Amino acid sequence: MYSFHLLLRASPAALLLILCLQLGTTKAQEDTTSRQLMTMDLQMLQIDASEEATVVLEVSTGLRECMVIKAYLLSNTPIEGNFNYKFTSCLCNNYPRRFFWDLQTNSTVKITAVVDVIRELGICPDDWAVIPIKANRFSITKSLP
């Protein structure tokens, strides 16, 4: 009977412990879902009237882990020059990346900046990089007047 009495006394403490654990788990789940996987900002800077422009892509992440990314541009019309350059880099949460492309066009062009999360060794320090489960390609589109 004495052991049964101790079990009833421990019950409120156990319930309090379970409640605290549940609240802590819920808070941890909220923190991981609020972080953004990838944030992209595409800017097009018109240099002069000769239709020469610079395209600037800024990429950042809210993840604590680094990831290897490949950034490139696509357009609805063919564009020559360094427009076709592909950049491979390590993206970490404390170090956003900026990529630049100079291009010339004499018409209105729709440009899409694409960032792929890839698996490649030797890009991130210590080769510690993650690959997202749900999405590994991100894009943003703007028109260059």
Spatial strand order of the sheet with 137-144 comes to 87-91, 67-75, 109-118, 137-144
Residue 120 burial (CB count, 10 A)? 13
Instruction: Determine the 3-state secondary structure of 42 from DSSP.
Output: strand
Flag whether pLDDT at 135 surpasses 90. no
Taking only the tens place, the pLDDT of each residue in 44-70 is 887 665 667 889 999 999 988 899 999
Spacing of C-alpha 40 from chain mean position: 8
Q: Which residues contact 139 (CB under 8 A, 6 or more apart)?
A: 40, 112, 113, 114, 115
Phi and psi at residue 3, in whole multiples of 5°? Answer: -65, -35
At residue 30, the pLDDT reads 46
At residue 116, the pLDDT reads 96
